[in-house]
Amino acid sequence: MNSPIELYGAITGNCLRAAIALEEAGIPYTPRHIDLSRGEQREPDYLAINPAGKVPALIDHSVEPALVLTQSNAIILYAAMKAPGTLCPNEEGAERARTYDRFLFFITDVIAPSHAAFFLRSAGLGEHAAPLDERALATLATADSFVTHSRFMAGAQFSMADISAFSMARFLEHQLNWEQLPNLLRWYNEMKNRPAVQRGLCAFD
Ligand SMILES: N[C@@H](CCC(=O)N[C@@H](CS)C(=O)NCC(=O)O)C(=O)O
């Protein structure tokens, strides 16, 4: 039987983050490629799914009416909810609280400024983007300390915090000063070698 979940997306950090989360959670889904260069995200069929004309978008047809999610990070949380224990520790306690803390750290302090910088560049205001780019990069670099004594970003268990961090480390791979970030480098290499991460990265090829 086909999976009731469809993931619309393209080869972008936001979409790959969502695909990696589904892969890591072991949730079957059908990837649907949206060609951004041809403006498919602004065609009526797609706007009926996400009126904002952005990817990713997830549709879960197993619920009635079908559930539509249009935020990459909400898709990660949905995957965590549907497959307990895979992306977030099951037990209430410090490790789960730290998972939320680190997940939100990467979203608000790294992804958000980087996204704002991208918006400024697309609006022809590239000269104003530099402080935001620098902030995203410098903040991501501080995550070296998260993995100095822990294998993963929130502790001993792989979690959604690793997914949000990985999507940005990959995006900024060529700007990070890896020589000064030995722990982050060890973690990043481990992430790249995870089979589910590799499958997620190919979701929209
Ligand atoms: N906050 C959203 C951002 C979605 C977003 O900005 N998507 C970009 C690609 S990464 C997009 O669809 N761009 C196409 C456009 O704006 O026309 C998320 O995390 O999913």
Q: What is the pLDDT of residues 140-190, one digit of tens each?
A: 999 999 999 999 999 999 999 999 999 999 999 999 999 999 999 999 999
Do residues 37 and 78 make contact, with C-beta atoms less than 8 angstroms apart? no
70 alpha carbon to ligand 1 midpoint, in Å?
9
Nearest alpha-carbon partner for 76 in 18, 138, 29, 149: 18
Cα angle 157, 159, 163 (rounded to 5 degrees) comes to: 135
- The DSSP bridge pattern shows strands 5-9 and 30-33 to be parallel
Round to whole Å and give the CA distance between 128 and 120: 7
| pLDDT tens by residue, 77-120 | 999 999 999 999 999 999 999 999 999 999 999 999 999 999 99
Q: What is the number of the ligand 1 atom nearest to the C-alpha of 72?
A: 20
pLDDT at 1 over 90: no
Number of residues that this document lists for the chain = 205
Provide the pLDDT for residue 177: 97
Mutate to test the pocket of ligand 1, among 54, 160, 170 (most ligand atoms within 8 A of CB): 54
pTM assigned to the model: 0.97
